[in-house]
């Protein structure tokens, strides 16, 4: 289950940080949804901040917007 981590590009921080954030939040929150949506939200934001915004497909922007709505409406208890 942990073997796909070896295929992450450790040289590109715009790939590494969302993957790390996804894994860590899944583990510490015990919630797959929180982990997945964090990665889907952070990935395009990091690409834009580093000037690689053209690498982000349109579908990823849709997923990022849906992930943002998840965090807005998530019942925080």
Q: How far apart are CA 19 and CA 32, in angstroms?
A: 13
Does residue 74 or residue 21 have the better pLDDT? Answer: 21
Q: Across residues 18-34, what is the average pLDDT?
A: 92
What pTM, to 2 d.p., does this model score?
A: 0.85
Q: Share the mean pLDDT of the chain.
A: 91
**Token duo for residue 62:** 């849709």
Q: State yes or no: pLDDT of 56 exceeds 70.
A: yes
Cβ atoms 23, 38 nearer than 8 A: no
Q: How many domains does the chain have?
A: 1
Q: Which domain holds residue 61?
A: 3-73
Residue 2: is its pLDDT beyond 90?
no
Tokens linked to 70: 């998840």
């Amino acid at each position: 289950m942990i073997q796909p981590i070896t295929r992450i590009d450790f040289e590109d921080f715009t790939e590494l940080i969302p993957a790390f954030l996804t894994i860590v939040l899944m583990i510490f929150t015990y919630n797959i949804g929180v982990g997945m949506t964090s990665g889907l939200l952070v990935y395009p934001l990091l690409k834009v901040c580093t000037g690689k915004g053209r690498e982000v497909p349109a579908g990823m922007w849709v997923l990022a917007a849906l992930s943002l709505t998840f965090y807005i409406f998530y019942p925080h208890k």
